[in-house]
Amino acid sequence: MKSKEIIFIVEESLEGGFEAKAIGHSIFTEGENEEEIKKNILEAVRCHFEEDEIPSVICLRFLREEQISL
């Protein structure tokens, strides 16, 4: 059965760039910048699913941690 969407959590990597992990699927990829991570996510989804099972929507949730000083 075809899933309507797949959700990725995208975080900044400690080594630089970004890491993306799918929720509920064993898909993980990396990229040097936002453009590359999006391209790599599309490629990873196409590789993970059969053509007729590829989700119609890929949702990216970017997480970012910041600290501010008082």
Alpha carbon distance 2, 22 (integer Å):
16
Does the pTM surpass 0.85? The reply is: yes
Alpha carbon distance 61, 38 (integer Å):
12
Give the model confidence (pLDDT) of 15-68 as tens digits: 999 999 999 999 999 999 999 999 999 999 999 999 999 999 999 999 988 889
